[in-house]
Amino acid sequence: MKGIVVKPGLAGASFEDIEEESGNGRVLVKTLYTGVCGTDREIVAGKLGITRAERDGRLVLGHEALGKVVDPGNSSFSEGDIVVPMVRRPGSCANCLAGRQDYCTDGDFTEAGIRGKDGFMRESFYEEERFLVKAGSEEVGIEKVLTEPMKNVMKIRESIFGVIGRGLWDSVKGRGAWVFGTGTEGLLIGSVLSSIGMRVMLVNRHGLPEIQQGLAERIGAEFFNSSSKDWASGKKRVPMDMVVDAAGAPSILLDAVGNIGHTGIIVLFGTGGAGMEGKLLGDTILSLVDKNLTVIGCEDGAREHYEQAVDFISENGAKYGLGKLVTGIFSPSSIEVLSAKQQGEVKSVIKW
């Protein structure tokens, strides 16, 4: 069997023969598609410090997958079921034992294709039933490969509803949500916030390519280029009740704290930590306190978020044109797609 292998800490990836596993009653899944994201590219660049091999200093890459059950093993799945494997595997803390490894408190977890567990960029893999989420039977649209990135958004939604009572928000309806970053996660976040009735503004630093423009329209979101001269006035036009950083630029936090309204909510999702040096300013701390702001760090998601993601994509995928996020389909040997963003890319996927 072939797969895409990296050596954590070193740059590069190769498409090569990998060892067959034995099933031991687990479900055998044929990989259909794997998505490529920023996390994969940081691993391939040798720059993601958290990356760990499963064994022998090697790791099969890939954490965004859609597959088909070819042998259900001892599970309740049927042959032909379409499934999405979960990324994070529990350790032994209370949250992990309760199925909320996304809130692991001691770091004793693994993540397929990222830290300590082989991922899904291979022709097939064996998986335990409890880590597989059903995405359909026999045939599903390619947009279901977005289930894994979408599960992060479902956890963001849960987190928002968990804190709105604090600022006496009667509802999120009509509130201004500013989403920084117009990649896959930014657009998925925009679609979900729009579906709960928020007024969504998408922001990036360069202007919106045509495909994203079409998606923004379908989502019902406005767009702002933060490098344009209209930005200063633009950000005053729509109230800033919520800010979501899906760009991984820490400076967004500082800007948000200055501009957001009282009782505002800031969700930090992008994992990048680069681009901001120095200390938090006293003014920022004062605003955080004085405006009663809530800052939420949000990573990963639990089984229920994968299930909600499957449902959301089934119900709203066509309306929001989510399938159009997939802008390129590559073969597993085209490993250059793991190193650089492709022309006009929103989401590149590998077809197995």
**Which residues bind to ligand BGC, rule: CB under 6 A?**
37, 39, 63, 87-88, 111, 114, 148, 152, 299-300
* Complex with ligand BGC: residue 114 or 338, whichever CB lies closer: 114
Task: Give me 23's structure tokens.
Answer: 């099933």
Please tell me the distance from the alpha carbon of residue 188 to that of residue 190, in angstroms, as a whole number.
5
| 147, 313 contact by CB (below 8 A) | yes
Which of Zn ion, ligand BGC, none has residue 175 at its interface (CB below 5 to 8 Å by kind)? none
Side chain identity at residue 240, one-letter code: M
Residue 257: CB minimum distance to ligand BGC, A:
25
Residue 183: CB minimum distance to Zn ion, A:
11
* Complex with ligand BGC: residue 114 or 252, whichever CB lies closer: 114
* Complex with ligand BGC: residue 88 or 100, whichever CB lies closer: 88
Among the listed ranges 8-16, 29-37, 253-261, 272-280, the one in contact with Zn ion (CB under 5 A) is 29-37
- Spacing of C-alpha 247 from chain mean position: 11
Task: Give me 274's structure tokens.
Answer: 């680069």
Residue 78: CB minimum distance to ligand BGC, A:
27
- Spacing of C-alpha 334 from chain mean position: 23
* Complex with ligand BGC: residue 136 or 301, whichever CB lies closer: 301
Side chain identity at residue 290, one-letter code: D
* Complex with Zn ion: residue 37 or 60, whichever CB lies closer: 37
Which of ligand BGC, Zn ion, none has residue 111 at its interface (CB below 5 to 8 Å by kind)? ligand BGC
Task: Give me 266's structure tokens.
Answer: 């800031």
Binding pattern for the stretch 230-269 against Zn ion, x by CB under 5 A and - elsewhere? ----------------------------------------
Please tell me the distance from the alpha carbon of residue 172 to that of residue 198, in angstroms, as a whole number.
6
Task: Give me 142's structure tokens.
Answer: 């390619």
Please tell me the distance from the alpha carbon of residue 48 to that of residue 202, in angstroms, as a whole number.
27
Residue 63: CB minimum distance to ligand BGC, A:
6
The neighbour count for residue 55, using CB atoms within 10 Å, is 9
Residue 37: CB minimum distance to ligand BGC, A:
5
**Residue 102 in 3-state DSSP?**
helix
User: According to the binding rule CB under 5 A, does residue 39 interact with Zn ion?
Assistant: yes
Which of Zn ion, ligand BGC, none has residue 114 at its interface (CB below 5 to 8 Å by kind)? ligand BGC
Please tell me the distance from the alpha carbon of residue 36 to that of residue 120, in angstroms, as a whole number.
11
Please tell me the distance from the alpha carbon of residue 107 to that of residue 88, in angstroms, as a whole number.
11
**Binding-site member from 6, 28, 37, 298 for Zn ion (CB under 5 A):** 37
Which of ligand BGC, Zn ion, none has residue 152 at its interface (CB below 5 to 8 Å by kind)? ligand BGC
Strand 14-17: give its sheet, edge to edge: 14-17, 2-6, 59-60
Residue 171: CB minimum distance to Zn ion, A:
31
Binding site for Zn ion (CB under 5 A): 37, 39
